[in-house]
């Protein structure tokens, strides 16, 4: 069953076509890696899927609905969670309040002005923090967290909306090796539980080939290969794009 269908998606910046008409599918519960050398157009592609950038042309169908020109908040509400390449969290709030805010957004409670937020969704937030392993730092300001923990917090924020599709832009960038596999395993376990599909970009090829069901390879704005990890690993076009030979 197809969850996400991208058709002929394109975006140019100042005449330079960064994403030049790509098409791909993601099925329900599938884990798909989007890889490619630097400048291939992965992040631009992600930003279009998430609504941060409006595509020049093409369609983004989620469950058959074209969300191509939607705003990020609306895309979130129909069940797309997002992790950023450089972790984006609410730096002045505690870890728990970060998740609490996401839950307030999910339950559409952000227009309530006259009650205290400090006891709202505490149990739900605690459960989410438990699942990503952040309970021990729940009351710390998130500006004091180690980078690996920030990435975990991002995952919790993205998952708080119980998404059907999770977009993770380099979920393990800037992390130690041990942290990397821990976060990847966590992401896998959480998404397997909820049947949530994942589309992620990653430079760490070990992580890609170990976790992805299917791999998409971009280079210079176009999709140059697509297939199961084993097939991609031996694909000459992919080798050429990465190694330049």
Partner 1 sequence: MSFLAIQFLTGLSGAVSLFLMSAGLTIIFGVTRVVNFAHGSLYMLGAYIGWSILTRLPHDPIWFAGGVIAAALATGCIGAAIEMTLLRRLYRAPELFQLLATFGVMLAIQDLTLLVWGPNDLPLPRAPWLRGSVTILGEHFPAYDLLLIAIGPAVLTALLLLLNRTRFGMLIRACTENRDLAAALGINHRILSTSVFALGAGLAGLGGALVLPDSSANTQMDLAVIVEAFVVVVVGGMGSVTGAFLASLMFGELQAFGIVLIPGATLVLVFIIMAVVLSIRPRGLLGDAPVPSAISAAGKPVRPVSSRIQLVGWSLVVLAATAPIWLPAYWLSVLTEILIAVLLAGSLHLMMGPGGMISFGHAAWFGLGAYSSALTVRMLSAPMPLALLAAPVAAGLVAIAFGWFVVRLSGVYLAMLTLAFAQIVWAAAAQWSWLTGGDDGILGVWPSGSVPFFYWVLSLSVAATWLLQRITRSPFGLALTAARDSEARALSIGLRADRLRMAAFAMSGAAAGLAGGLFAFSTGSVFPTYVAVGKSVDVLLMVLLGGINTVIGPIAGAVAYTGFYDLLLQTTSMWRLALGLTIITLVLAFPDGLAGGWRRSRS
d(CA 125, CA 99): 6
CA distance 72 to 89: 16
52 binds partner 1 (CB under 8 A): yes
Binding residue for partner 1, selected from 13, 23, 69, 117, defined by CB under 8 A: 117
- Please tell me whether residue 105 binds partner 1 under the rule CB under 8 A: yes
**Alpha-carbon separation of residue 5 from 49, 81, 165, 214, 238 (angstroms):** 11, 16, 12, 15, 23
CB of 90 to partner 1, least distance (A): 4
CA 79-65-102 angle, 5° bins:
15
The yes or no reply on residue 92 touching partner 1 (CB under 8 A) is yes
As a whole number of angstroms, the distance between CA 61 and CA 7 comes to 8
Number of shown-chain residues binding partner 1 (CB under 8 A): 43
Determine if 116 is a binding residue for partner 1 (CB under 8 A).
yes
Q: Which two tokens stand for residue 87?
A: 């972790």
- Per CB under 8 A, 162 contacts partner 1: no
Nearest residue (CB) to partner 1, 94 versus 235: 94
101 lies in the binding site for partner 1 (CB under 8 A): yes
Interface residue with partner 1 among 69, 88, 230, 240 (CB under 8 A) is 88
Structure tokens at 95: 């870890």
The number of beta carbons lying within 10 Å of the beta carbon of residue 65 is: 10
Stretch of residues binding partner 1 (CB under 8 A), selected from 16-24, 54-62, 110-118, 201-209 = 110-118
DSSP state of 142: G
Residues that bind partner 1 (CB under 8 A): 50-52, 71-73, 76-77, 81-82, 84, 88-94, 97-98, 100-102, 104-106, 109-118, 120, 141, 143, 157-158, 160-161
């Amino acid at each position: 069953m197809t969850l996400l269908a991208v058709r002929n998606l394109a975006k140019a910046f100042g005449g330079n076509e960064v994403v030049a008409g790509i098409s791909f599918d993601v099925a329900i519960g599938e884990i798909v890696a989007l890889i490619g050398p630097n400048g291939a157009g992965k992040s631009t592609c992600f930003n279009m899927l998430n609504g941060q950038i409006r595509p020049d042309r093409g369609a983004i169908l989620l469950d058959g609905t074209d969300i191509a020109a939607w705003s990020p908040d609306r895309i979130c509400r129909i069940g797309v969670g997002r992790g950023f390449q450089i972790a984006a969290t609410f730096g002045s709030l505690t870890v728990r309040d970060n998740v609490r805010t996401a839950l307030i957004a999910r339950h559409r409670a952000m227009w309530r002005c006259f009650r205290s937020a400090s006891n709202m969704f505490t149990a739900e937030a605690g459960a989410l923090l438990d699942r990503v392993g952040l309970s021990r730092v729940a009351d710390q300001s998130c500006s004091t967290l180690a980078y690996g923990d920030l990435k975990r917090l991002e995952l919790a924020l993205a998952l708080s909306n119980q998404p059907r599709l999770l977009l993770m832009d380099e979920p393990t960038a800037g992390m130690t090796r041990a942290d990397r596999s821990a976060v990847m395993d966590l992401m896998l376990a959480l998404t397997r539980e909820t049947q949530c599909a994942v589309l992620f970009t990653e430079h760490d090829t070990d992580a890609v080939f170990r976790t992805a069901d299917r791999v998409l390879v971009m280079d210079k704005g176009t999709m140059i290969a697509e297939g199961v990890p084993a097939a991609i690993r031996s694909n000459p076009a992919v080798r050429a794009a990465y190694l330049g030979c």
